[in-house]
Structure 1
């Protein structure tokens, strides 16, 4: 019995499909997961810094004051008295010497500092306890006066607000420096000769 060319072609096609299907079944399938622990962020999560390289806004509000006072007082008095009498032709005289000295000294220094700033820092490291070590710098020029703010510290994730902002008062081991460079800052600094006079107590 001879098969028609059409039927024979259908059988060949079916046989080829079965061979391809069996070959695919024999090869194990590998799929790469889209989940990456280091960069995964849930869709419902807040936009907060939590890994190295993330940005975080710090609101700096630092207010400090210090007062030092000292008072010194000394009193000193010396008296010398003498008398001379005359009997007959003798001269009668009296002598009295008194020496006294007073010294009063006092000093008072008072210093008040207030720093208000807002700057964005970068997460430099994630510590084993989950805290974030952050650092950043802000440069601002106003009327040819360069103002520079440097900030470093550790932040707890729970202290970060939903807007990805944290107060400087919540930083641990905070190092905040403010430096101004320009005519105004130079005039505000004490001169070298004034420091020498202060050291000599003049």
Structure 2
């Protein structure tokens, strides 16, 4: 093939074919090869490590005392009168309240909303059935993207406006709940 034929062939390919090229870059689905696997869209999943340890206590002591006394005495030569009134009040009271709780769990939740500042609103629940006992853990809250680790995990202590619920249903939960008549009597302080 001579140079003329080669040039003619190249010219016909370029002019006749109407060369067209598309970009491989798609802005909506692009992830850089060097980026980590963090949440970016509604519906994406994130793993929450629930580690909540709380304790609270309060105590109160009250002491009050009051003494009052009134006396009257009349001494006449022949007649003697005497009178006395005495009162005393004393109150002493005290109380103490203590409560502790601990929840350890790991569950995967979904992104419900991405806020204008970039925070992620997450929500999810996990249910586990063991020996006729159903344990349900629910997690809701707001997470900053920078608090999510490279392995797509966030600690529950890093969730803002966190609502973490741990509840059980079944034989053990029923045994721990007071009977209906005990709950009724407790309404009257009995």
Q: Give the 5 Å matches for 1:31-42.
A: 31-42=21-32
> Displacement, 1:115?
1.5
CA deviations 1:35-72 (Å, max 9, x no partner) are: 33232222333233222222111101112222232333
Measure the CA separation in 2 of the matches of 1:68 and 1:194.
26
| Corresponding residue of 1:160 | 148
TM (normalized to structure 2)? 0.73
CA deviations 1:1-38 (Å, max 9, x no partner) are: xxxxxxxxxxxxx9xxx8xx859835645444443323
Measure the CA separation in 1 of the matches of 2:19 and 2:118.
38
The count of aligned residue pairs is 180
| Corresponding residue of 1:174 | 162
Where 2:173 maps in the other structure, the secondary structure is: helix
Where 1:192 maps in the other structure, the secondary structure is: helix
Measure the CA separation in 1 of the matches of 2:161 and 2:81.
79
Match of 1:105 among 93, 113, 136: 93
Query: In structure 2, do the counterparts of structure 1 residues 118 and 24 end up closer, same or farther at CA, with 3 Å as the change threshold?
Result: same
Q: Which runs of 5+ in 1 are unaligned?
A: 1-13
Match of 1:121 among 100, 109, 112: 109
Between Structure 1 and Structure 2, which shows a larger proportion of strand residues?
2
> Displacement, 1:141?
1.9
Structure showing greater Rg: 1
TM (normalized to structure 1)? 0.69
Query: In structure 2, do the counterparts of structure 1 residues 156 and 78 end up closer, same or farther at CA, with 3 Å as the change threshold?
Result: closer
| Corresponding residue of 1:46 | 36
Query: In structure 2, do the counterparts of structure 1 residues 187 and 132 end up closer, same or farther at CA, with 3 Å as the change threshold?
Result: same
| Corresponding residue of 2:184 | 193
Confirm or deny: 8 A CA contact 1:83 1:95 kept in the other structure. Answer: yes
RMSD: 3.3
